[in-house]
Amino acid sequence: MMADSMNKEMTHAAADALVDEQKGKAGGLVEDNKTPEKSQKMTPRVFLNKVLSGTALGVIIGLIPNAVLSGILKYFGTNTFAVTLTQIAVIFQLATPLIIGGLIALQFEFNPMQMMVTAGASFVGSGVVKFNPAMKAYVGAGTGDLINTMITASIAVLVLMWVKDKFGSTAVVAMPILVGCGVAYIGVLLLPFIAAFTAAIGDVINSFTTLQPIFMAILICCSFATI
């Protein structure tokens, strides 16, 4: 009897051990299956899609408040509340490049410091705020050049992906200076050329409006589809 009970206990123990082992293997397979999703291979197409996704969402967030509120609040005339809220919406719109940079960094699952460094570089590189020598002040207008914002953010992302943790304990000081200001400087240097290219595209598309309606519609649609 004792032998039978011992055999039963050993059988149950072996069965439990086998079940645990199978669960462990299954868990390992699940983790292995999840690994490729987390470490997705970064191809040019994936990189571009992430940049475009962050830009699209950033443009919506940055422009919607002013686009909606300005159309509504203009009927309130010089009402103090309406005027102040309109000014707030315009100032919020100035932060569009900053929002875009942060959302692009979010697409790459950066940490908070890396996100803000990318956002800051994008904001400066967009040219939304410039120094006016005549006024001796920094002046903001519009949303800056969104194409240059994307380029500056992309450069910042590439640099941060290359740097990784090389700064070590000095990251809190070195990263904003070397990566943030360094990439922003590159963006500022590129801005005149990108702005001229953007203006040329705008002039070409604007010239389509002088054509016959059918040709105008076809050419404008093709232009925006290409862009």
Chain centroid, CA 102 distance in Å = 5
78-91 average pLDDT score: 92
- Residue 36, pLDDT > 50, answer no
**Pair 82, 110: CB distance under 8 Å:** no
Question: Which residue has tokens 């940049």?
Answer: 51
- Residue 34, pLDDT > 50, answer no
Which pLDDT score is estimated for 68?
92
The per-residue pLDDT of the chain, averaged, comes to 83
Give the end-to-end CA distance of the chain in Å, rounded to a whole number: 84
- Residue 156, pLDDT > 90, answer yes
Confidence label for 180 from pLDDT (cuts 50, 70 and 90) = very high
- Residue 2, pLDDT > 90, answer no
Segment holding 130, helix H or strand E: strand 129-132
**Pair 176, 158: CB distance under 8 Å:** no
96 SS3 class: helix
Confidence label for 39 from pLDDT (cuts 50, 70 and 90) = low
The number of C-alpha atoms within 13 Å of 204 and in the hemisphere containing its C-beta is: 13
pLDDT, tens digit, for every residue of 98-138? 999 999 999 999 999 999 999 999 999 999 999 888 888 99
- Which tokens is 115 given? 């996100």
Confidence label for 227 from pLDDT (cuts 50, 70 and 90) = low
